[in-house]
Each structure stands twice: as structure tokens, then as C-alpha cells.
Structure 1
């Protein structure tokens, strides 16, 4: 039977989970009393020291899992060649995550390529190079340019991911222009399927407005019960094909992610076990 696990992207801003006075250093412990998985977003902005991961291992129960987002210089978000020695960069990243690997808490690495990363021969080769550089680790790919799932490339893209032994990241996001992908619920790697809910804020997806922080606007969205209900049969089907399904809510801007994650857990009948005890909130 497939395991379905639900969490959110990042734990620091999930204010509705924390009682007043909870210190930042204690938030992950409290978070892990509510959800069994989390996405590490801070790894996108820097290669983190091992001590961060060591602390996170200590703060979470044995069965807790981390989805670690790849550093932006590895996914092409930093335009130009800011890091000429990419082998060293990938090696440093791999070294940084070893505490999670040794503790058995790494669900997968998440390579989210940028919206301008189109389906070209050069980019196909780059994805292959990324996979080869981290061949010993579970590897998930999220494309954000629509061309990868155009009718003429869709099946080839999925076959490409299967050949790489990479998880295809299924996305729910606004359908606006080329910098987004449609809902493609195919399973490329039977050990793990990853589903990410980005919200459906069409107005803020491409243009947050003058003077606005794009992250604050882009992910400002609360899923309705009807919208989540559309996903129940999709998740059921994915769960028939994958041994494990990890679902992440990224609609963080207005404090909606944790609430939607709990709502969706109820709709799917998912009851996580092995969490930290709720009384951790007292410390």
C-alpha cells in the first residue's frame, strides 16, 4: 500500500502552528508535531553548513523526512557563470546534506529549474549532468517552462526522467504564459512521487506589482475545498503507481499552507504517525 505524506515548504513562517513566544530554534520541533515531512527552502539560497542539518536531525522524530531544494547556482537561477567550478559546487552541496543522509531522513533532492529553462538540447544535457553529479541520491525534477510538456515533448520528457531515475514533480500552479507547467500527474519513478501546490494566484504569478516582494504576492492563495477535492482522485491514482507520495503546500504568503495541508490530509483520510509529541509546544 502506498504511503501518502503531507507537509509544507519551509517551517519558519507557519505562524498558526506556533504559540506566542516559541523561539525560532524550537519551531521545527513544534512543526514536526504536526507534519511528517518538510521542504528545506533555505538550501536554495546558500549551501548550508552541516551543523544546520545536524540540528534538524536532532529536532525531528526518527521517521521524519526532508525534501531539500537544490542551491540556485546548481539549477541555473543565477544567470551567467558565477561558479565556474561546478564539480566543486555539487560536491560541497552533497557534503552539506550528509547528516540527513546518514540519519535516513533525506526523502529527495529537489531540482526546481527556472521559468526560462526551456526544453532544449543544451538544457536536457544539463539536467543529465546534474543527475550524474548526484547519482547516489534520490533526485526530483520540477520544470517550470511549459515547453517540457507541450504535446510533442510530454511523453519524451517523462521518458527522459524515467531514464534518469528521477521523480517527476507534479505541480498545481496558475496557468499564465510559458513560465508555468500544466498538471501532469504521471509517475516517472515508482519509489516516490512529489506533488507541490503553489496556489492559483494568476494576477501575482508573473507581475507582483511595483514595490511588492514577488514571493509575498506570488504564493498568496488559499485553496478552496472544491479546488482540493479536484485533487483527491488524482492523488489516489498516483498512489496506485508510486510506493510513496509526498505532498507539499507552497502557498505560504498569507499563512494558508499549513491550514490547507491539514484540510487536505482530512480529505484524503491521511493520519500521520510517529510525530513529535504536541507538548513540545510548551518549550
Structure 2
């Protein structure tokens, strides 16, 4: 099992500073190149707001230098508006081709909102979406608890969909934390456990303002180690990027996995002065 560990996005202004990821004065255009020196995976958030073109993905592939796998988040027209046109499918499927050619394309991520409950209409929509993405790895995150059922995961296995295992705060209405496998790929998103801000937070930064303890990282390392041999690849993405929490938690998880005999790696060594920080 190859384990890829990274964060949700890489353009975080609060990662700029001494003893952080990006040295003071770093331009946003240089973020990915530095990020790729430390982490072997990233979720691309920009595609949720607007599907990048071929040239944009070519630039990402070039700056990553083959170091970092990229999971591509589906545009909101697929998950929130749920009214994609053929042109949207064409662009979403074709634009990341440079990542495939560079060997760094990860799964597509369909991040559905809490309002996407398990209804007959939504089940039909998900089936149609899976058919349009047939032949491509598609990971699906449900935020509504109604999807958190064994029969749903069995159906996803039948259609070749990847169940996204989320770690949400202990609040009502969301799926329980747990690492479930429905394909040859496991996909884990760690949102933090800030239950006070999950529903009331005005921004994603507020909802994800949480730093995991070592005991909590040990807990997830045990679950990841348990599925070794069951999957070929496992992606772990920390969404608690605010205030640099993820930067502190990733080394903790790496250490916990290695202690349990699960090999994890970091990108090739770099001459960057920041390379030894993480």
C-alpha cells in the first residue's frame, strides 16, 4: 500500500513566515513548487470554483516536478448546482490531461454539501455522474448522515466509486468517523473536530480551526494500518489548514504510521532552506 499525505489546497497565506512552509516574501506562483518539496499529495481546490484549462494544469505539473499527486476537486456545477452541461464534463475530463501525462493525477473528488441527502433523485444523479466519469477514479464525500450505510458502500463498490472517509467533529447529522474501503484506493479527509464552529462558523477557516493531538493521529494510523493489503493506495488529506494546523499534524501522522510498519515517504530531497522543517 502506497500512502499519499497532503492538504486540501496549497495557497494558504497563513503558511507564510519564519519556521512555516513558505518563506517571507514568497509569491503565490511559487507556492506549489515549495509545497511539492514536502508533500506527495494535494487536493486542488481551484477547480471547484472554475475549471482550469490545459495551460493551467500544464503549469501545475511543471511546478510539481513529478513529486506530488493531485486530487482534482469537481467543479461546483457537478456537486452543488448539479446541472452540468456536456461542455462541463468535457472540460473537467480533458483539462487535467497534463497531470496524467506527468504521472501525478490522483482521483477526482466529488465533495457534496450537507443538503445532498440520500433521496431517490440524488441517488439517480450520483449514478449518472458515476457513469459519466467511468474509467476515471472518482472519490465521493457525503456530508449528510443518510448516506452512511453499508448498502450505499456496497453500491459504490459495484460502480467502482471511492468512498471518502471523513473525520468530522462529533456533531449530529454527519457520517461517523471510520475508514471504509470500496475500491483499490482509500481516501481519508481530516476536517478537524471543532464541534463548536462546525455549524456556526462563518468560513471554512473557522470550521477547520483545530489541531489534532498525537493520540488522535495514533487512532487514525491504526485504522490506516488495518487496511494495508486491502488497498493499493491510500490518500490522506488534512483540511485543517488554517493557522498551520495541518503542517504540524502531518509529521505526527507520518511518525505514527512508521511506528506501525506502514511505509510513508516524502518527496525527493531538495536544496531549499525550508526542506528540513517538515
Q: Does 1:200 align with 2:208?
A: no
Q: Would the aligned equivalents of 2:36 and 2:267 in 1 still touch at CA under 8 Å?
A: no
Contact 1:35 1:275 in 2 (8 A): no
SS at match of 2:51: coil
Please report how far the alpha carbon of residue 36 of structure 1 lies from its aligned counterpart in structure 2 after TM superposition. Answer: 0.6
Per-residue CA distance 1:25-66 (angstroms, 9 max, x = gap): 111111111111111011111111222110110011325210
Aligned partner (choices 249, 253, 263) of residue 260 of structure 1: 249
Cα deviations by residue, 1:221-263 (Å, 9 ceiling, x for unpaired): 0011111111121010122311111111000122211211122
Partner of 1:239: 228
Structure 2 counterpart of 1:228: 217
Secondary structure of 1:157's match? helix
Q: Which runs of 5+ in 1 are unaligned?
A: none
Report deviation, 1:168.
0.9
Say yes or no: does 1:215 pair with 2:209: no
**2:247 aligned counterpart, secondary structure:** helix
Match of 2:95 in 1: 96
Return the offset for 1:87.
Answer: 2.1
Alpha-carbon distance in 2 for matches of 1:18, 1:38: 16
2:170 matched residue in structure 1? 175
Q: Which deviates more, 251-260 or 28-37?
A: 251-260
CA contact (8 A) 1:5 1:245 kept: yes
Cα gap change, 1:155 to 1:271, in 2 (>3 Å): closer
The two structures have a TM-score, normalised by structure 1, of 0.88
Q: Which residue of 2 aligns with 1:21?
A: 25
The 2-side partners of 1:33 and 1:266 are apart by 18
The TM-score normalised by the length of structure 2 is 0.90
In the alignment, is the contact (CA less than 8 A) between 1:61 and 1:275 conserved in 2? Answer: no
Of the candidates 68, 84, 87, which is equivalent to residue 72 of structure 2? 68
Q: Does the aligned pair in 1 maintain the 2:168–2:191 contact within 8 Å?
A: yes
CA distance in 2, matches of 1:59, 1:245: 23
Question: Structure 1 CA distance, aligned partners of 2:2 and 2:100?
Answer: 20
Matched, 1:41 2:34: no
- Select the residue among 154, 157, 165 that pairs with 2:152: 157
1:143-176 deviations in whole A, cap 9, x for unaligned?
1100111xxxx11111111011011111111132
In structure 1, how many angstroms separate the alpha carbons of the residues matched to 2:6 and 2:88?
29
Contact 1:196 1:248 in 2 (8 A): yes
Matched, 1:277 2:270: yes
Given the alignment of the two structures, is residue 188 of structure 1 paired with residue 182 of structure 2, yes or no? yes
Instruction: Give distance in 2, aligned partners of 1:101 and 1:137.
Output: 11
Structure 2: give runs of 5+ residues left out of the alignment. none
Report the counterpart of residue 137 of structure 1 in structure 2.
Answer: 136
How many residues align? The count is 266
Higher relative contact order (CA 8 A, sep 6+): 1
Q: CA RMSD in A?
A: 1.8
